[in-house]
């Protein structure tokens, strides 16, 4: 999966308030007896708690579909989070930017794992240069395509 575009977010943006129904939506049979109380949440605070270090990245490719990241999705990436084993990261490998799951081996090596069996993992060789650019915190996936 490749990075198609990187956008910084304005730090002083006005709150993006949205009504939030305080109910869980069952993906099975709906319950007719639930009440639908609402409150407001600020999408800026909910999606990007560290605004200064958060960027929006458009992903390209199909190597991360099992992680819920699809071609054209927008990823919220926080550069202030310390990358750990299992995190989905934006990584720069030998000058090329990619999105993969970070894995540490028992021998101290690093593997950038694809989440699609049709795509190979990237096993970092001894002389490879790796820089973790940021940690993916959310994938914004459009359900209704226009």
What's the pLDDT at 45? 78
* pTM, rounded to two decimals: 0.77
Pick the range with the lowest mean pLDDT from 68-72, 80-84, 88-92, 105-109.
105-109
Q: What's the rounded Cα separation, in Å, for the pair 57 and 37?
A: 34
User: For residue range 96-133, what is the model confidence (pLDDT) as tens digits?
Assistant: 999 999 999 998 889 999 999 999 999 998 778 999 99
Give catalytic residue positions.
63, 100
User: For residue range 28-78, what is the model confidence (pLDDT) as tens digits?
Assistant: 666 555 555 567 777 777 778 888 888 889 999 999 999 999 999 999 999
Q: Stretch 3-14: mean pLDDT, rounded?
A: 67
For the chain, domains (ranges, CATH) are: 2-9+50-140 (2.10.109.10)
71-93 b/e (C-beta count within 10 Å ≥ 16 → b): eebbbbbbeebebeeebbbbbeb
Q: What's the rounded Cα separation, in Å, for the pair 88 and 82?
A: 12
């Amino acid at each position: 999966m490749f990075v198609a575009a990187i956008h910084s977010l304005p730090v002083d943006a006005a709150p993006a308030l949205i009504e939030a129904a305080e109910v869980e939506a069952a993906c099975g049979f709906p319950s007719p007896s639930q009440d639908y109380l609402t409150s407001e949440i600020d999408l800026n605070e909910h999606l990007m708690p560290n605004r200064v270090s958060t960027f929006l990245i458009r992903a390209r490719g199909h190597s991360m579909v099992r992680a819920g990241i699809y071609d054209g999705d927008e990823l919220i990436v926080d550069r202030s989070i310390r990358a750990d084993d299992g995190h989905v990261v934006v990584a720069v490998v030998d000058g090329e930017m990619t999105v993969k799951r970070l894995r540490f081996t028992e021998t101290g090596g690093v593997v950038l794992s694809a989440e699609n069996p049709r795509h190979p993992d990237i096993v970092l060789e001894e002389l490879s240069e790796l820089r973790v650019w940021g940690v993916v915190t959310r994938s914004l996936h459009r359900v209704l395509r226009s």
